[in-house]
Chain A
């Protein structure tokens, strides 16, 4: 196929998809858009104790496998903080380069730079990680502010807005995702609503790391999972 033909076909497909590109989800266009992003449909259940990064990654992999996405390598979008003998881990460095699509084939982000807003115009415009696209592995919209039922929009990240670990000594990661008691976790909002900003990955800190503490802030210990390959 020539480049011209390709672009005409692409233009026609775009036109068919039409409107605000949201309906591009699930229209079965080529190329395939396998799920490379989801919000965990359930938490691990022990507050901020995820069994460390390994436990969180395993949770991502198990949930993905249950819906036929087990052939990819999954990473939880979580940072850990530096400890004696252990350097910090940045969430953004764990998730590959994209593009990432949700469970209905909707684009979340083309690449790291768009996801994190590495340039001013990218940051101002934002990625496509918004409520109607930040779906669970089962394709569900995550309950957010104003929805019936408990709000569970707080996504554990332990990250700054640029996707990197915090460098101060305060706890931002429920002790590197091993505490279900004391501590604090930085969270973002899957619905992009709350706390006076629209950050998906670094809106505010929780007080406490128990499951009840997380619930009191509008969370259930959910987090983002990305496929690295």
Chain B
């Protein structure tokens, strides 16, 4: 697959932007970016250096494109540990509304983002493949983009920006809250780069006793038997090599809280 295709896709974003603006009859003024998908992972699997490390990654990427004047938080939950309560991703984002690189609204508020009522949940928020952009305005390659037999292999995936990498680390339930059971959904609160053991059989994509695991969602809303942006399924493990086995590389969502 050629680079011209992603360029075409990027060009289309501007067209899409105007389409959505028309459809919403919104003002022409562009709202500053308060949401993005990290354009690159930290690179050590599920070890993000904890929430602090992930937040710093958001801040660094934002600063590099001139958005460093805001306070950025990664959309990640952590699970309860002895003496430490759980942290819910949804409690780390401020109150919204949040806009992407193009000034398109992702969600009005926390209830819209997460679908807090039946009607809101059925309608969904506005996070789609065409709005779930990186801090540089790039579309994240998703399901059926640039198909290649090597796109589950980190050794190849790390050499190209053009392979499906649509799994965002969240560690979160669909309502934006941390999991309450004892299994691992957060790569040990974003400090683990372990698993799977070499040659270990592929089990279901779910948390299991003793298994390093992260819950993920999709900005392109395609895959996993549902289209959840924040809580579709688990991973094979937490190593950098494990994440591409299911089409992730360890990217995540960043939100500005102010």
Interface residues of A (CB under 8 A from B): 11, 14-15, 18-22, 107, 116-117, 120-121, 123-133, 145-146, 161-162, 192-199, 202-204
By the criterion CB–CB under 8 Å, are A11 and B204 in contact?
yes
Contacts A117-B118, A146-B130; is A199 near B124 (CB within 8 Å)? yes
**Residue B246 at the A interface, CB < 8 A?**
yes
Interface residues of B (CB under 8 A from A): 9, 12-13, 15-16, 19-20, 23-24, 105, 114-115, 117-119, 121-130, 143-144, 152, 166-167, 174-175, 201-205, 218, 221-228, 231-233, 245-247
Contacts of B114 in A (CB 8 A): 124
Q: What distance in Å separates the Cβ of A123 from its nearest Cβ neighbour in chain B?
A: 3
7 A-B residue pairs with Cβ-Cβ distance under 8 Å, sorted by A, are A18-B246, A20-B232, A120-B115, A123-B122, A124-B231, A125-B231, A198-B124
8 smallest beta-carbon distances between A and B, as pairs: A198-B124, A123-B121, A15-B202, A20-B223, A124-B174, A161-B122, A197-B123, A126-B227
Contacts A19-B247, A120-B118, A146-B16; is A198 near B201 (CB within 8 Å)? no
Contacts of A131 in B (CB 8 A): 129, 221-222
Q: What distance in Å separates the Cβ of B72 from its nearest Cβ neighbour in chain A?
A: 24
Among A20, A21, A162, A197, the residue within 8 A (CB) of B125 is: A197
By the criterion CB–CB under 8 Å, are A15 and B122 in contact?
no
By the criterion CB–CB under 8 Å, are A195 and B225 in contact?
no
By the criterion CB–CB under 8 Å, are B130 and A145 in contact?
yes
CA–CA, A125 to B218, complex, Å?
11
Contacts of B205 in A (CB 8 A): 21
By the criterion CB–CB under 8 Å, are B13 and A130 in contact?
no
CA–CA, A198 to B13, complex, Å?
17
By the criterion CB–CB under 8 Å, are A15 and B16 in contact?
no
By the criterion CB–CB under 8 Å, are B228 and A198 in contact?
no
Contacts of A192 in B (CB 8 A): 124, 128, 221, 227
Is chain B's binding surface mostly helix, strand, loop or mixed?
A: loop
Q: What distance in Å separates the Cβ of A27 from its nearest Cβ neighbour in chain B?
A: 14
Contacts of B121 in A (CB 8 A): 117, 120, 123-124
Among A20, A161, A198, the residue within 8 A (CB) of B224 is: A20
Contacts of B23 in A (CB 8 A): 194-196, 204
Contacts of A20 in B (CB 8 A): 143, 166-167, 218, 223-224, 232-233, 246-247
By the criterion CB–CB under 8 Å, are B152 and A18 in contact?
yes
Contacts of B201 in A (CB 8 A): 15
In the complex, which residue of chain A has the Cβ closest to the Cβ of B145? Answer: A132
Contacts of A129 in B (CB 8 A): 227
CA–CA, A32 to B119, complex, Å?
34
By the criterion CB–CB under 8 Å, are A198 and B204 in contact?
no
By the criterion CB–CB under 8 Å, are B225 and A21 in contact?
yes
By the criterion CB–CB under 8 Å, are A193 and B128 in contact?
yes
By the criterion CB–CB under 8 Å, are A19 and B245 in contact?
yes
Contacts of B15 in A (CB 8 A): 146
Among A11, A127, A195, the residue within 8 A (CB) of B226 is: A127
CA–CA, A161 to B15, complex, Å?
28
By the criterion CB–CB under 8 Å, are B246 and A145 in contact?
no
Among A116, A128, A132, A196, the residue within 8 A (CB) of B122 is: A116
20 additional A-B residue pairs with CB within 8 Å, beyond A124-B175, A131-B129: A19-B152, A20-B167, A21-B225, A120-B118, A121-B175, A125-B231, A128-B227, A130-B222, A146-B130, A162-B118, A193-B129, A194-B23, A195-B20, A195-B24, A196-B24, A197-B126, A198-B127, A198-B221, A198-B227, A203-B123
CA–CA, A128 to B226, complex, Å?
4
CA–CA, A1 to B246, complex, Å?
30
Contacts of A197 in B (CB 8 A): 123-126
By the criterion CB–CB under 8 Å, are A196 and B126 in contact?
yes
By the criterion CB–CB under 8 Å, are B143 and A132 in contact?
yes
Contacts of B144 in A (CB 8 A): 22, 132
Most buried by A among B174, B231, B246: B174
By the criterion CB–CB under 8 Å, are B122 and A117 in contact?
yes
Contacts of A14 in B (CB 8 A): 202, 204
Contacts A11-B204, A20-B246, A124-B228; is A198 near B126 (CB within 8 Å)? yes
